[in-house]
Amino acid sequence: MNARNRQFQLILEIRQVRDAVSAVFHTLLLHRSMGKFNFKSENNYQAGSIGVEEVDCDFIDLTYVRVNSSKLVSFVQTEVDTFCYELEKAVESPSTSRNLTSFPPCPYGVPLYSTKIRLEFFQRRKRQWFMPEEEVPWEIWQLQLDIVSITENEYFTRMKETVADNLSDIILSTCGSINKPQYVPKVPTRSDLTKVFDDSFSDCQPYLFHIRKPSLSLGDRSDSIGLFSSANFHSFKRLLKDTLSV
């Protein structure tokens, strides 16, 4: 199965990266999450509801909507914060490869760095009995981020408005694309729930997803994309807790 793949490009100042990535990823997760399933039998269930909340960006003139789930928000924030921290270190390092060959023109700033981050939705499929389950992506959303340096407050004010307009277009485009008739994994039976959905959150049930980030310390090479999923995050927390209790 070929995964649907969409890519969007943004020119922005480094302070705006956290807002931009969070806005896009939370918009996608809002449309790719359901309320918790209450199974009456193997094939009979009742879906709960999910809450939503509005979020004002700090450095972009934009308000977006996300799932009102503290654990989901915390997971995404941890991943985005890590990405931003590594990006800031890469920008400050004189030895970093900056990948500026295809940098688009920007009237407000000096090109600094180009990178990417993506959100993948996947499902687990059985393989032969001696092989682990296969993770098969069915939808991939990638953000190409072109970072510029801006020193004048006047230009940064303009960037807040410009990035808000471009980010609004991206969010509207994602919503329009998601609402088109297209493949999504069918609702599984109770036994196969975790092959399609992440049930580790208490107040929502997103489709299984990975957040893939480049290993910026390695020069942002395409073969150094790392991944972190919400399921891996919770497994790591349980492992750490068990280790500390020994």
238 pLDDT band (50/70/90 cuts)? very low
pLDDT in the model for residue 182? 85
pLDDT in the model for residue 154? 81
User: Cα(153)–Cα(217) distance, rounded to whole angstroms?
Assistant: 30
Q: Considering the chain, what percentage of its residues have pLDDT values greater than 70?
A: 83
Mean pLDDT for the stretch of residues 65-86: 97
> pLDDT by residue (tens digit) across 178-210?
988 888 999 999 999 999 999 999 999 999 999
Q: What's the whole-model pTM score?
A: 0.84
User: Cα(213)–Cα(81) distance, rounded to whole angstroms?
Assistant: 11
> pLDDT by residue (tens digit) across 79-120?
999 999 999 999 988 765 566 656 667 776 788 999 999 999
User: Cα(70)–Cα(81) distance, rounded to whole angstroms?
Assistant: 16
CA angle 103, 107, 109 (to 5 degrees): 70
Query: Which residues in 68-166 belong to E strands, given as ranges?
Result: 110-125, 134-149
Tell me how far CA of residue 147 lies from CA of 76, 116, 197, 208, in angstroms: 21, 11, 34, 30
Which of 66-70, 159-163, 239-243 is predicted with the least confidence, judged by mean pLDDT?
Answer: 239-243
Count the domains in the chain.
Answer: 1
Residue 50 clears pLDDT 80, i.e. is over it: yes
Q: What is the mean pLDDT of the chain?
A: 86
pLDDT in the model for residue 74? 98
User: Cα(94)–Cα(84) distance, rounded to whole angstroms?
Assistant: 18
Which of 30-34, 50-54, 101-105, 193-197 is predicted with the least confidence, judged by mean pLDDT?
Answer: 101-105
Tokens read off for 169: 């277009």
In terms of residue numbers, what domain contains 98? Answer: 4-245
224 pLDDT band (50/70/90 cuts)? very low
User: Cα(32)–Cα(29) distance, rounded to whole angstroms?
Assistant: 5
pLDDT in the model for residue 246? 41
